[in-house]
């Protein structure tokens, strides 16, 4: 059973060394370099006869269905494994099935969930509306859905948690049950309130992933060097750690990021002051074929021309390191979160120097467990 409150001390297991936010192990054998061998499967440059304007948030369900949002069209799309449009959903609006403000998207078993500031909106895999439940997204931001009812949540930014700790909470939406799964102690850097200026890969956040085969979850603070693991029911806990450096980020980099938004200067200055001057150690955790993938947090802006990846065994042995390279002339558009790894594939929202946008699915070579 999960504990309802309190501190949970996790023993450190394997220690690895990461260079520049990602990379090489200290034991004799060391990790091997992995070549991902990307092969384009399809690309999308328009939907419903309209060119993509500001696509983002690609999310992939367990069956390979992909969801993404066009923020200028204020509409989300369902795309099948062949890249064909299945349907649209979550248009902006106040009517049932619409969302007044889109924040994020979460695959949830046989459903997909759209997070708005005050509610979670549930849809079928085809985009049909199912239900909405009340939820303060800034206090209880879903990290991971185990299925359409059970999920884990944490503050959207660690600095917005009260009293110097940030709780990961287990929620059962069907029963209303809610329990503390883990309490993170925060450093001074992590305690800074975000002021609403969250930048993925830069803002200290909790990250989480699940191995669907073993039902084991992996989680950590992207601003820290410990990855925790636990059975989904809170038992059989452990962890592994790494050491490394974080790439610096200038004030100019941060200002360039916020320049595309219509935000008053005084608010931009406040948000910049709350942000770290270094990227996080990693941007995301994903589990593929039983192995743990840490996706590096390399940069923000047009410099995002690839993705550093480090691959670990379930017990934390550093097996491989490598880099996913994009096609020449293209970079990850908007956010590091716009590159998503799935079982044998990687999905990337991209932009070129002319400002053209596309969503691309690549087949990718991945190691076996």
Q: Is residue 86 part of a domain?
A: yes
Q: Give the pLDDT confidence score for residue 301 in this predicted structure.
A: 61
Query: Which residue range is the domain that position 351 belongs to?
Result: 15-363
Q: Which helix (H) or strand (E) holds 236?
A: none
The verdict on residue 254 lying in a domain is yes
pLDDT (tens digit per residue) in 34-60 = 999 999 999 999 998 889 999 999 999
For 258-272, the pLDDT digits (tens) are 877 778 888 888 888
pLDDT band at 350 (very low <50, low <70, confident <90, very high): very high
Torsion of CA 158, 162, 167, 172, to 10 degrees: -110
CATH number at residue 190: 2.120.10.30
d(CA 319, CA 309): 11
Specify the pTM: 0.88
Report the range of poorest mean pLDDT among 59-68, 85-94, 156-165, 312-321: 156-165
Tell me whether residue 112 is in a domain.
yes
9 within domain boundaries: no
Span 60-117, pLDDT tens digits: 999 999 999 999 999 999 999 999 999 999 999 999 999 999 999 999 999 999 999 9
Residue 1 inside a domain? The answer is no
Measuring CA to CA, how many Å separate 236 from each of 10, 11, 173? 10, 11, 24
Average pLDDT, the chain: 88
Tokens found for residue 276: 């770290």
pLDDT in the model for residue 193 = 87
Number of domains in the chain: 1
State which H helix or E strand residue 252 sits in.
helix 251-258
Asked if residue 178 belongs to a domain, the reply is yes
Decide if 179 is inside a domain: yes
**Within a domain: 177:** yes
- Please compute the mean of the pLDDT values over residues 237-253 and round it to a whole number: 86
In the three-class reduction of DSSP (H, G, I as helix; E, B as strand; rest coil), residue 39 is classed as strand
């Amino acid at each position: 059973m999960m504990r309802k409150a309190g501190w949970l001390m996790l023993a450190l297991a394997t220690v690895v060394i990461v260079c520049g936010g990602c990379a090489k192990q200290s034991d004799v054998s060391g990790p091997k370099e992995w070549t991902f061998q990307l092969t384009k499967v399809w690309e999308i440059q328009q939907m419903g006869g309209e060119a993509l304007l500001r696509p983002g948030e690609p999310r992939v369900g367990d069956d390979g269905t992909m969801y993404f949002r066009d923020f200028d069209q204020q509409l989300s799309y369902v795309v099948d494994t062949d890249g064909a449009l299945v349907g649209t959903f979550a248009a902006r609006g106040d009517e049932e099935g619409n969302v007044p403000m889109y924040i994020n998207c979460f695959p949830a078993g046989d459903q997909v969930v759209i997070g708005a500031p005050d509610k979670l909106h549930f849809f079928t895999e085809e985009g049909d509306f199912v239900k909405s439940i009340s939820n303060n997204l800034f206090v209880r931001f879903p990290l991971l859905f185990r299925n359409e009812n059970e999920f884990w949540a944490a503050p959207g930014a660690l600095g917005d948690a009260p009293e110097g700790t940030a709780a990961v909470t287990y929620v059962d939406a069907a029963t209303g049950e809610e329990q503390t799964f883990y309490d993170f102690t925060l450093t001074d850097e992590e305690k800074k309130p975000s002021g609403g200026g969250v930048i993925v890969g830069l803002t200290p956040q909790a990250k989480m992933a699940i191995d669907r085969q073993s039902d084991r979850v992996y989680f950590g603070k992207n601003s820290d060097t410990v990855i925790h693991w636990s059975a989904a029911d809170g038992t059989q806990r452990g962890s592994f750690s790494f050491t490394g450096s974080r790439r610096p980020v200038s004030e100019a980099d941060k200002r360039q990021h916020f320049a595309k938004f219509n935000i008053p200067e005084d608010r931009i200055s406040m948000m910049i002051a709350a942000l770290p001057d270094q990227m996080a150690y990693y941007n995301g955790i994903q589990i593929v074929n039983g192995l743990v993938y840490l996706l590096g947090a390399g940069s923000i802006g047009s410099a995002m021309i690839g993705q550093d990846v480090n691959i670990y065994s379930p017990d934390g042995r550093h097996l491989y390191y490598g880099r996913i390279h994009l096609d020449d002339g293209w970079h990850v558009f908007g956010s590091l979160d716009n590159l998503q790894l799935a079982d044998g594939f990687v999905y990337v929202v991209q932009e070129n120097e002319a400002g053209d946008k596309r969503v691309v699915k690549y087949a990718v070579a991945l190691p076996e467990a």
